[in-house]
Amino acid sequence: MASLFTHTLAGAVIGQAGKPDWRKDWRYWFVVVAYSMLPDIDSIGFHMGVPYGALWGHRGLTHSLLFAFIFAAFAAMWLDGRFHRQWEMAILFFLVMASHGLLDAMTNGGLGVAFLSPLDTQRYFFPWRPILVSPISLSGFFTARGLRIMGNEILWIWCPALVLFALIKLLQLRPPLPAEDSPLRNEQV
């Protein structure tokens, strides 16, 4: 795993792409923060002795795209009734959760990520893996190695996340297009 804080940061940046009314709702941010970390719920099993390479092992089913898809759909339905176009929200939640596995697949340690589980339990890594793997236990952070990992994550995740954040904010500065039936739009034609 990358560190949980870094996973949350990446998810929060993706969450910025949400519509303005979504971003005003605390429940939206609750889902974004929870989902960026949720795949690592499998570390409970890891501490209880579930083998790393098992279906429920670390980076197994909970890191799969199907898991992200199902949870994204549920969360979008949970927020249903308040917002329009829930499928767009579901896509965003999916991206938040899938970002976790993508980052894990760029780390240099452990087993790969079972993206296609349970259909295919094969573990995958990306060919390019610049991110140093994080310790699963919290105490592992307060060491020289922990500091090195933070520096590495700042370079390979925080900096690109900052660029993405700036890009999203720039795009959001554009004035929205007038609605189809708006007189403004007809004037432009």
Tokens of 30: 């609750």
Tokens of 99: 């970002």
Task: Work out which of 40, 90, 93, 153 binds Zn ion, going by CB under 5 A.
Answer: 40
Q: Rounded to the nearest whole angstrom, what is the least distance from the CB of residue 145 to Zn ion in the complex?
A: 18
153 binding Zn ion? (CB under 5 A): no
Nearer to Zn ion, 13 or 104 (CB): 104
79 binding Zn ion? (CB under 5 A): no
Interactions with Zn ion, residue window 89-118 (CB under 5 A): 104
Q: How many CB atoms lie within 10 A of CB 147?
A: 11
Q: Which long-range contacts (CB under 8 A, 24 or more apart) does 140-147 make?
A: 141/3
42 binding Zn ion? (CB under 5 A): no
Q: What is the DSSP string of 59-116?
A: TSGGGSHHHHHHHHHHHHHHTBTTBS-HHHHHHHHHHHHHHHHHHHTTBSSS--B-TT
Q: Rounded to the nearest whole angstrom, what is the least distance from the CB of residue 4 to Zn ion in the complex?
A: 9
Q: Rounded to the nearest whole angstrom, what is the least distance from the CB of residue 159 to Zn ion in the complex?
A: 21
Residue number closest to Zn ion, CB atom? 1
Determine the interface stretch with Zn ion among 34-42, 46-54, 78-86, 140-148 (rule: CB under 5 A). Answer: 34-42
Sequence-distant (≥ 6) Cβ neighbours of residue 134 within 8 angstroms:
1, 2, 3, 107, 140, 141, 149, 153
Determine the interface stretch with Zn ion among 16-24, 33-41, 79-87, 170-178 (rule: CB under 5 A). Answer: 33-41
Residue 138 has what DSSP assignment?
G
Q: Rounded to the nearest whole angstrom, what is the least distance from the CB of residue 135 to Zn ion in the complex?
A: 12
Tokens of 80: 């249903």
Q: Which residues contact Zn ion by CB under 5 A?
A: 1, 39-40, 104
